[in-house]
Structure 1
Amino acid sequence: MTFSTLPFLAILSCHTILVSGLDNGLARTPPMGWMSWATFFCETDCDKYPNGCINEKLYMEMADRLAEDGFLEAGYNRIHIDDCWMERAREHEKLVPDRKRFPSGIKKLAKYVGVKDAAADFGTHTCEGYPGSLDHLKVDAVTFASWDVDYLKLDGCNVDTALMPA
């Protein structure tokens, strides 16, 4: 080692950061899988687009494709249910899956696909105008847990940051 490399190594060692985490096997990679939004956005007209609308059939087919096409084996083990899956209004303060497009409900769908990702919104409404989670965070957390959802993406549409709890 030459004298000129010593200062470089000294500076490099000062920038080394120790990272620690639980050794429980979780989150070894970022969530990898399939998300409906990039292709289907908020297409909810299943009469007009039966093979291209947001419904339980679409998510079941995509789960099957992940397995059949080898993606599951490669670590792509998430099916993410994005916006537009719910009814336009809450019932008894709870989010409710659209009954026509998700007749079996989210819990049964989550069990079928084997992974449990869903999306909600921290604002008053989702990006596409469905009910948001602002002022309903606790009831929504309990609802998603009752459906065995284990990963939740919260968008930040339609939120006044001044109204966000500290």
Structure 2
Amino acid sequence: MTFQLLKLRKSLLFIAAFLLASLNTTATKRDSLALTPPMGFMTWNKYKEDINEQLIRQIADKMAADGYAEAGYKYIFIDDGWQGGRDKRNNILPDPKKFPSGMKALADYVHSKGLLLGIYSDAAHLTCAGYTASYKFEEQDAKTFAQWGIDYLKYDYCHAPSDSAVAHKRYKKMADALQKSGRKIALGVCEWGQLNPELWARQAGGSLWRVSYDVRDMWKDIVKQGGMGIIDIIDITEPLYKYAGPGHWLDMDMLVVGLDGKGGPSSDLGGVGCTYSEYQTQMSMWCMFASPLAMSHDILNENEATRHILLNKEIIAINQDALGEAAHRIDFPGACRIYLRQLSGNRQALAIINPSNTPQPVQLPLSIIGNAKEYSFRDVWEHKTTRQHKAWQGTLQPHETKVFTITTQ
């Protein structure tokens, strides 16, 4: 009897180990679809459902001609509102009035500009905005997306059960369908962080997963109706930093940089707009945490201040660093916060945030970085390099963030 129990126990352990190895192999394979955080433009915050093929072509032209593609913004993410139902064979269709040429022709055009095309669906019968979704049509829709030439799927979770096991199952079913589709399509898990996707989303096949409810165009949530401000999402993300890595990213939602309180959904629930110091802080910390960067402003009519933030190649280089580590917070007294991120090439990135409403002086001992006698501090926003020996000191304005790349001299 004892021998039989031991034999059964060994068999169960072997099966468990095999299944775990299989899951890890699948996760590792899908990791290769997004070895650095995806960057691009997402339609929702500015345009909501008012999208069409002419608009997407204009955005593609703008991104290719105006430096965005060169800076790393390779995706155009078409969000909710593109759907036109299903045909008699249940193939999902684009809205014929919005996309009269079809998605394949649009994807070909986007690809001709050196860009990639993302699309949207939901793990239920209907999307958040009430359009046709993909639940129980996963394989069929995945094949359709592949035939169109889609490169990325944002997969939402509206109208779906609030259970993490069910969510894991539904996302895995779509990830498996995408893997069988014959095309490499990255999967964005848009579950809003409420069911702890950091514990299962990678194993379910996600290349990234949302950590919070939708971002609004504001510094901080003060109306308490479900909208998230910039500093709120920073606070939610930091404890999760160990879950980020090449191919599996913490998605902090869209950049609201440049929306100026004039966006669509981002202007709801207290989204009255931000200062450009606050927008620069969003860009800084989304890069420090290795979040995907999805612009959502009026890219066809933008100002220079917005371009200055979004096209800063030095902060983007931190976001896209091959090591793929996310920043973590360092204990430090005072009103300001300190975040440190390890970079490739034995370098570090340091961010200092002033979350308060008044200017704050900072004297930062370099012992928190290491024990070298001298460091080179590269201010990625001022584009200036200085040598620091014992401490960095300066004054930060309200809601301002300083970011440095640091090397040992």
Q: Which amino acid in structure 1 is aligned with residue 35 of structure 2?
A: R
Q: Does 1:71 align with 2:68?
A: yes
What pairs up with 1:76-115 in 2 under 5 angstroms? 76-87=73-84, 89-91=85-87, 92-114=89-111, 115=116
What pairs up with 1:6-155 in 2 under 5 angstroms? 26-43=33-50, 54-87=51-84, 89-91=85-87, 92-114=89-111, 115-155=116-156
Q: 1:68 to 1:165 in 2, by over 3 A?
A: closer
CA shift, 1:165, in A, is 8.0
Answer 1 or 2: higher relative contact order, Cα 8 Å, separation at least 6. 1
5+ residue gaps, structure 2, are 1-27, 170-409
CA deviation digits over 1:88-108, x for unaligned, max 9?
x31121110111110111111
CA deviation digits over 1:109-137, x for unaligned, max 9?
01101112111111110111111111111
1:120 match: secondary structure? strand
> Equivalents in 2 of 1:55, 1:96: separation in Å?
14
5+ residue gaps, structure 1, are 1-20, 44-53
CA shift, 1:27, in A, is 2.2
CA shift, 1:25, in A, is 7.4
2:76 match: secondary structure? strand
Pick the structure with greater CA Rg. Answer: 2
> Equivalents in 1 of 2:33, 2:99: separation in Å?
29
> Equivalents in 1 of 2:57, 2:151: separation in Å?
18
1:65 match: secondary structure? helix
Aligned-residue CA RMSD (Å):
2.1
Q: Taking structure 1 as the reference length, what is the TM-score of the superposition?
A: 0.74
1:4 aligned partner: none
Q: Taking structure 2 as the reference length, what is the TM-score of the superposition?
A: 0.31
